Amino acid sequence: MDFEFTPEQKELIQVVRDFATNVIAKRAAEIDETDQFPRDIISEMGKLGIMGLPIPEEWGGVGADFPSYIAAIEEIAYASAAVGVILAVHTSVGTFPILYFGTQAQKERYLPKLASGEWIGAFALTEPGAGTDAASIRTRAVRQGDKYILNGSKIFITNAGEAGVYCVFAVTDPTKGARGVTAFLVEPGMPGFRVGKKERKMGLNGSNTCELLFEDAEVPVENRLGEEGQGFSIAMRLLDGGRIGIAAQALGIARAAFDAANAHVHSRKQFGQELAGFQGVQFMLADMATKIQAARWLTYHAAALKQQDRKCTREASMAKLFASDTAMQVTTDAVQLFGGYGYIKDFPVERYMRDAKITQIYEGSNQIQRVVIARQLNDVKRI
C-alpha cells in the first residue's frame, strides 16, 4: 500500500508546516515555560483554515480529507505538542461530535464558529471515578420541562476555560448503565456551569487541563446531542479518529526529538571524532529512525481506512499504541544522546520527553489499547 500524498495534499501540508516552523516553533519554549494558552496562535490557525481542515466547506471549513488533517497534527506537534493537542481535541472530539451527530440547528450554530477558530471545542467524559471505565460516570442529567439539570464534575478536560462549547456526557437513566448516558452541548455562561481548577502538568504546558463543575447547571433540551441514551455510543464512535490524532501527535514529537539528536551527534565531538562516528550511537539512531517509520505507516494506514469510512478500531489502537511508545523511547534516547545538555531547559529534548509521556496515557491508556487490539484479532483480514 502506498500512502504518498497527492500534490494537493502536499500543498496544504506545506502551508501548515511553514506556519508551524515560522510561528509556532519560535514560541514553543515560551509557551512551555509560561504555561499560557496561545490564543493568538490559535486565532492565526483559524484564519489559515487549520482549525477547520476536515470540516466541509458548507460549514466554513476547508473540506480537506482525514489524512491531511492527521498530517497537520503531526506538523504542528513537531513544533509544539501543546498546540498540537489543542488542535486534535478541538477537531476530533470537539467538532466532529456536532458534525456527525448534531441537528441542523446545532450545526448552524456551532460549526462555522469552530471551523474558523472563533470558538474552540472540548470534550468532557472523564470523571474522578471514571477514567478508563468511562461507562461508570456519575454526572447526572435530569429533564425538567424544556431543560436538563446537570450535577457532577469532570476532570482532565483539555481546552477547558478557552472552549466555546463542551461536549459533555451525563447519566439520564442510571438503571441502564452505558445505555443511560446522554451527550450535551454546554456553553460557558450557562447557569450552574463553571470551570474549576487548572491542573499543573509534567508536559503539554500551554494546553489547558481543568476540571468542570456542574451545580444544578441548566442546559436547554435543544442542546442535547443525539437522543437520550445515545451518549456512550457517540463517545465510543469518536475514539478511533481521536486515537489516530494522538498517534500523529506522538509521531511529530518523536520526529522532532530524532532530528534534534541527529543534528547534535553530528556537531559534537568527543575523543577526536563526531559522536555520530561511534557505532553505539549509530545503532541508537538506526533504531529510532526505524521505529518512527513504522509508527508513520501505522498512523497513515489507520487514517486512510478512516477516510474510506472503513472499520479501523484495531488499526487506530495499534497506531496510538506503537506511536506513543515510540515517542517515549525516542525522546528518552534523545536526552541520552545529548548527555548533560539533554537534561537542561536550554535544549528542547527534555520538553519533548515530558510531552511524550502523556501520549501513552490519554485517549485510552496503552494497556487499554492492548485490550482493544486483542479483542479485534479475530477480525484480521489478510490480502
Give the model's pLDDT for residue 275. Answer: 85
Is residue 237 located within the same domain as residue 115? no
Tell me how far CA of residue 340 lies from CA of 82, 85, 253, 254, in angstroms. 25, 29, 20, 20
Give the model's pLDDT for residue 2. Answer: 61
Q: Specify the CATH number for the domain of residue 70.
A: 1.10.540.10
Q: Specify the CATH number for the domain of residue 302.
A: 1.20.140.10
Q: Is 383 contained in some domain?
A: no
Is residue 209 located within the same domain as residue 315? no
* Residues spanned by the domain of 66: 7-120
Is residue 170 located within the same domain as residue 83? no
Give the model's pLDDT for residue 383. Answer: 41
The answer on pLDDT for 154 being more than 80 is yes
Is residue 370 located within the same domain as residue 273? yes
- The stretch 240-264 carries a mean pLDDT of 96
Is residue 206 located within the same domain as residue 270? no
Q: Is 95 contained in some domain?
A: yes
Is residue 222 located within the same domain as residue 251? no
Q: Is 2 contained in some domain?
A: no
Q: Which residues contact 173 (CB under 8 A, 6 or more apart)?
A: 179, 180, 228, 229
Taking a C-beta distance cutoff of 8 angstroms, is the pair 251, 114 a contact? no
Is residue 288 located within the same domain as residue 217? no
Q: Is 304 contained in some domain?
A: yes
Q: What percent of the chain has pLDDT over 70?
A: 97
Taking a C-beta distance cutoff of 8 angstroms, is the pair 256, 348 a contact? yes
54 vs 272, higher pLDDT? 54
Among all residues, which ones are annotated catalytic? 363
Phi-psi region of 15 (alpha: psi -120 to 50; beta: other; left: phi over 0): alpha
Q: Which long-range contacts (CB under 8 A, 24 or more apart) does 272-281 make?
A: 275/337, 281/337
Mean of per-residue pLDDT scores for the chain: 94
The answer on pLDDT for 378 being more than 80 is no
pLDDT digits (tens, 9 = 90+) for 260-278: 999 999 988 888 888 888 8
Taking a C-beta distance cutoff of 8 angstroms, is the pair 138, 126 a contact? no
pLDDT digits (tens, 9 = 90+) for 61-112: 999 999 999 999 999 999 999 999 999 999 999 999 999 999 999 999 999 9
- What is the domain count for the chain? 3
Is residue 128 located within the same domain as residue 84? no
CA 115 to chain centre: 16
Is residue 252 located within the same domain as residue 373? yes
The answer on pLDDT for 132 being more than 90 is no
Is residue 116 located within the same domain as residue 135? no
